[in-house]
Structure 1
Amino acid sequence: MDYYAIVHNDFDGTASASVYARAVSSLPKNVWFTEPTKLHEVLSKLELRGVNTIMIGDLGLNESTFSSIIEALKRLRDEGATVQWFDHHVWKDEWKSKLKELGVEVYHDVTTCGAGVVNKVMNPNDEVSKKLASADCSVDIWLHDDPLGEKLRRIVENDRSFEWKRKLIEVFYNGTLWNEEFQKILEKRINEELDGYRKIWKYVKVLEVEGVKIVVAIRWKGPPDISYASQFLMTRTGADIFVSANGKAISFRSNVIDIRRFAVSLGGGGHPLAAGASLRIPLAYRILRKFGIRGPVIDWVSKVVVDVIKKEGIVRYERKNIH
């Protein structure tokens, strides 16, 4: 079966493409890794060239690009394409309705991760796919209930190149979820992370808003990434919320608070326990940051965080049985 895959540029996107490939017993003729904000660009440039099936996985929708996506999909449908879209982010009902009117097959389920949606729909009885989806969901939607997820996420993110992710899709497609190469990468990453944890404190500030402790950080170079750093810092400080800003975007993490509300308030979105939004730090603060002066930028980000939390309020998140 010839098809194109368009997936999110992360572990969940890679896992979604792998589970789909196992379901249709074929690797994609080509795969694009992208972000939700750039999906419309990929679709508008896509040429079928004899391939009539398009799989979209782990990519949500944004109001600002929705009309462009509809226009691009209408063209592809008119050219004879079958489009299957698997996602788990929060959608508006009208988005699903408009896509279905175009003939797009929409599989939307917010109770699992992207790979979990594909697994449920396409091959629920495949043991390899179930294990991969379980590992993926564990880290993608912050369940932290499958140790393989913490290991595989480090493997996927060890190399940011698309070539590496394409290689992993083939490895997972062939039924391998762990091997000697992965073990060596894991050991190297863990050592790098341990070194990074010792340096991370100079990028951090601890706040308290409405009785809830919050860790605010500006991005540092190298490991650990924000997901692992967030767990480390929240545990060490007793905080319930972790916030990280890298100059262009802000990320929220928590184990017990619905932080998606804060991301949405800033124009973004995500999951109840892991979400983010665009946030452009003023140039003056970014210049100071380059010279090693971190205080002003940390204070600026902290003010944004305090303001949005006071505006939206603290809402505890009730975990449900998912997957």
Structure 2
Amino acid sequence: MEMSYYAIVHNDFDGTASASVYARAVGSLPKSIWFTEPTRVHELLSKLELRGVNTVILADLGLNESTFSSVLKAVRRLKAEGATIKWFDHHVWKEEWKRQLQEAGVEVHHDVTTCGAGVINKVMNPEDEISRKLASADCSVDIWLHNDPLGEKLRRVVENNRDFQWKKKLIETFYQGTLWNDEFQRILEEQVDRELRGYKELEKYAKVVEVNGIRVVIAIRWKGPPDISYASQYLMTRNRADVFVSANGKSISFRSNNVDIRRFAVSLGGGGHPLAAGAALRIPFFLRMLRRFGIRGPALNWVTNVVIDVIQREGVVRYENKSMH
């Protein structure tokens, strides 16, 4: 049942997997695809021109309080122009957002117990074994279940290259039913080699603080692998810490295995999952400049003060990570 549609997905493994699962469900690749962030969805939707394509799907893209009214305005315009809009997501939403989008005519599929690809797999093609395997691998790393070894491998392959053409190629590969091949194996081996070298450098970028009875590792972003998820596990384990925080100059990311860190991200204007979340956070310009010259201490201290403040303000709530199926 071939159809013509546009896809707008998150710029990560889950977004790529979501687009692939949807394509398999409808029997065709999207006419055009955009990879974006939740904070930019409203901009993309407001500029989108249908050009004869009437179906628009969005996947693995949460909503933010600050941009919701712009999103709503954009989807109302697209609906008025004849669009069918389907939104698949697993991030935490306000019921009010869901209600208003549905009233505007958007088909909303929202399920916080799985990842973005998992939502689409459940709704669109639960019998497709390739989609089920891809969604399982994706959920394993995206919502921190760590219960499918293929997830750790595919994540490295997908995120080893952020280029549009690479993601497009991956979606075509998954769509055709291939989840692993020789090229993926070579990329995996190269990536793991780079990660092993990178682990030796991590301690230079981090410090440990105790606040409200928990140990927190705070880091200024480094260049190259390991990525934030693997680095966070390594640094938390090595320092017996409960929470990992990383800032790159423009945003801040939180990770944990047992603390609800989404509350900290929300307090800073962001969002995410209970164990993996983030927010925009602009480090002052002069501190960013110092960091460029290799002087990381002042920026790290500034971020540390922000983190201590938000944890003291919000308090620590433990989170029990249950395997979600």
TM-score (ref. length: structure 1) = 0.98
Alignment of 1:164-175 (within 5 A): 164-175=166-177
| Whole-angstrom CA distance in 2 between matches of 1:22 and 1:108 | 20
User: How far did residue 190 of structure 1 move?
Assistant: 0.4
Secondary structure at 1:17 match in 2? helix
Secondary structure at 1:63 match in 2? coil
| Whole-angstrom CA distance in 1 between matches of 2:267 and 2:42 | 23
> What stretches of structure 2 of length at least 5 have no aligned partner?
none
| Whole-angstrom CA distance in 1 between matches of 2:67 and 2:212 | 35
Larger displacement relative to structure 2 (43-52 or 107-116): 43-52
Alignment of 1:188-207 (within 5 A): 188-207=190-209
User: How far did residue 321 of structure 1 move?
Assistant: 3.6
User: How far did residue 111 of structure 1 move?
Assistant: 0.8
| Whole-angstrom CA distance in 1 between matches of 2:302 and 2:191 | 31
User: How far did residue 245 of structure 1 move?
Assistant: 0.4
**Counterpart in the other structure of 2:96:** 94
For 2:47, which of 40, 45, 69 is the aligned residue? 45
**Counterpart in the other structure of 2:217:** 215
User: How far did residue 286 of structure 1 move?
Assistant: 1.1
Deviating beyond 4 angstroms after TM superposition, the runs of 4 or more aligned structure 1 residues are: none
Alignment of 1:134-149 (within 5 A): 134-149=136-151
Secondary structure at 2:113 match in 1? coil
**Counterpart in the other structure of 1:264:** 266
Tell me if structure 1 keeps the 8 A contact 2:16–2:171. Answer: yes
CA RMSD, Structure 1 to Structure 2 (Å)? 0.9
Alignment of 1:1-323 (within 5 A): 1-323=3-325
Tell me if structure 1 keeps the 8 A contact 2:254–2:276. Answer: yes
Tell me if structure 1 keeps the 8 A contact 2:22–2:120. Answer: yes
Q: Deviations over 1:80-133 (max 9, x none)?
A: 111110001111111111111111100001111101100110011111111111
User: How far did residue 148 of structure 1 move?
Assistant: 0.7
Name the count of aligned residue pairs. 323
Amino acid at match of 2:126: P
User: How far did residue 291 of structure 1 move?
Assistant: 1.5
Q: Deviations over 1:127-175 (max 9, x none)?
A: 1111111111111111111111111111111111111111100100111
TM-score (ref. length: structure 2) = 0.98
| Whole-angstrom CA distance in 1 between matches of 2:90 and 2:183 | 31
Secondary structure at 2:66 match in 1? helix
Secondary structure at 1:317 match in 2? coil
| Whole-angstrom CA distance in 2 between matches of 1:33 and 1:296 | 34
Secondary structure at 1:72 match in 2? helix
Secondary structure at 1:216 match in 2? strand
Larger displacement relative to structure 2 (288-297 or 164-173): 288-297
Tell me if structure 1 keeps the 8 A contact 2:242–2:259. Answer: yes
Q: 1:229 to 1:142 in 2, by over 3 A?
A: same
Amino acid at match of 2:271: G
Tell me if structure 1 keeps the 8 A contact 2:89–2:111. Answer: yes
| Whole-angstrom CA distance in 1 between matches of 2:196 and 2:227 | 12
User: How far did residue 210 of structure 1 move?
Assistant: 2.2
| Whole-angstrom CA distance in 1 between matches of 2:81 and 2:246 | 43
| Whole-angstrom CA distance in 2 between matches of 1:271 and 1:159 | 24
